[in-house]
């Protein structure tokens, strides 16, 4: 009887060791992993299959986005100065280019693209598109402009802004079906209007009319636009905005 008891006790001890010893070994082996996890606030546990922990940075999505857009470029002088300011401020913007100008200033077009800005289409000749048929809008105004940009950058823009914002509703439907994205604006700085485009007027207009996801209309104009641009940027940053291209809003 005693031998049977001892034999049963030995078997029980072996079972207990078989269960708990691997667990203890595993816990000791994992202690450095546990310490690393506790030291890193950004960890992710994948619960299907093996337990894997991946260090990653937090994804921050700004709640206040805004887009600066510049029409009527490129040119040799003003567009270059705008690019200088954007580079200094580390901001990406959207440039709606006129096709007739693209071939005259290839270096500027390449710089816009290479510095990470979005190039969009502002028609070939900057005429009122309401006077053209839908087929003519693409054949005469949009396609030639995008092809000129593609020749220099390898990128064929499919985002367009009609000159003066003018476009018939049937043209809107036609272009949408053809894959074009139409972008107008929600905040006009009036930097194009000589009667109300002083730098302080432009900045105050932005201060009064700003809103999340605003698309701000500016132009590749002369000194007024260039002098106002740093103030516009700093004003919007002070209000908590982050700058994006129109396709990122």
CA atoms within 13 A on the CB side of 155: 15
Beta strand residue intervals within the chain, DSSP E: 43-46, 52-55, 65-73, 94-97, 118-121, 159-160, 181-182, 187-188, 214-219, 242-243
Q: How far apart are CA 244 and CA 242, in angstroms?
A: 7
Active site residues: 71, 219
Q: How far is CA 160 from CA 33, 68, 89, 101, 118, in A?
A: 52, 15, 26, 16, 11
Give the residue among 133, 162, 132 at the shortest CA–CA distance from 145: 162
> Number of H helices and number of E strands within the chain?
9, 10
Q: How far apart are CA 26 and CA 205, in angstroms?
A: 65
98-117 exposure pattern, b = at least 16 Cβ within 10 A, e = fewer: bbebbeebeebbebbbeeeb
């Amino acid at each position: 009887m005693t031998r049977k008891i001892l034999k049963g006790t030995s078997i029980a001890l072996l079972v207990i060791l078989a269960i708990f010893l691997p667990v203890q070994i595993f816990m000791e082996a994992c202690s450095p992993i546990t310490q690393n996890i506790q030291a890193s606030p950004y960890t992710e546990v994948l619960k299907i299959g093996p337990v894997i922990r991946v260090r990653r940075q937090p994804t921050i999505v700004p709640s206040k986005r805004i887009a600066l857009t510049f029409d009527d470029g490129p040119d040799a002088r003003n567009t270059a100065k705008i690019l200088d300011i954007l580079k200094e401020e580390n901001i990406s913007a959207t440039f709606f280019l006129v096709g007739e100008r693209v071939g005259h200033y290839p270096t500027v077009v390449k710089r816009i693209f290479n510095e990470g800005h979005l190039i969009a289409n502002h028609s070939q000749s900057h005429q009122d598109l309401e006077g053209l048929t839908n087929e003519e809008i693409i054949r005469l105004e949009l396609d030639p402009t995008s092809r000129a940009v593609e020749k220099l950058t390898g990128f064929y823009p499919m985002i367009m802004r009609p000159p003066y914002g003018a476009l018939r509703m049937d043209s809107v439907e036609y272009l949408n079906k053809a894959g074009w994205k139409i972008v107008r604006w929600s905040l006009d700085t009036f930097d194009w209007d000589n009667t109300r485009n002083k730098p302080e007027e432009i900045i105050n207009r932005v201060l009064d009319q700003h809103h999340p996801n605003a698309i701000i209309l500016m132009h590749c104009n002369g000194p007024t636009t260039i002098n106002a641009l740093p103030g516009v940027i700093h004003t919007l940053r002070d209000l908590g905005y982050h700058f994006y291209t129109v396709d990122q809003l």
